[in-house]
Amino acid sequence: MDLLLNDQVAVVTGASKGIGLAVTKALVAEGAVVIAGARSSSTELDALAAAGSVEVVAVDLSTAEGATALVDRALARGRVDVLVNNVGAVSPRTGGFVSVTDEQWIGSLMINLLPAVRVTRGVLPLMLAAGRGCIVTTSSVNAALPDPGVIDYGAAKAALANFCKSLSKEVGPSGVRVNTVSPGPIATDLWFGDAGVAQTVAAAGGGDPAAVAASVAKESVTGRFTHPDEVADLVVFLASPRSGNTTGTDVRIDGGLVTTL
């Protein structure tokens, strides 16, 4: 299926690894040009840039200055057809709620909510002027599945989901679509890296990271983690004109982890 994204200009945040890298690859495969924002690049992202379809912008998106720098590079293109707000991070709070400091609460909001607010605010006028555009934001099952182990992350993602739903109502009549995707556990370094969730939780409980990951996988109907490219395929479809009447929607991709409607 042709997703009608050839020559479209897309901005992707958190693009150097994980879901963001997978989304960048998928957009390039569909013929889009990607402005990729990340704190630092990666070998794979550099290879895409060398091929000419990706412009890498090294920015710290937890800061207002980083978001502004990325937006400025996007505006220099004269158009933005697609925005994928993907940047985010989570740190398990193994000491419980009372151990979570103000700084950690603020940090979760600064990386999981405000980058999407800032970058969206920066590129939205171009979309509104064009009378078309699409914004897809990576939320999380934890936006609607409270977990005390990631209490500040879940709250930030719930705020993010509410922001996107509210925005969809405002800009939908002007031709701009806004949707979210909510992954469950993803097979990336966020879970499996040296300082990932599995290792952090295992260290706190004196267990084994592989056992922690296996126990989490068993909570899904499919019995496994979602792969980044599976999320990317969903994101790119939502970004495509093929889903032209889909807006204000959250699409969950969690292997059946959430059992409620």
From 79, 113, 247, 238, select the one nearest 176 (Cα to Cα).
Answer: 247
DSSP state of 186: B
Is 155 one of the annotated active-site residues of the chain? no
Which residue among 153, 191, 225, 237 is the active-site one? 153
* Sheet strands side by side (includes 33-38): 54-58, 33-38, 9-13, 82-85, 133-138, 176-183, 250-253
Give catalytic residues, as residue numbers: 153
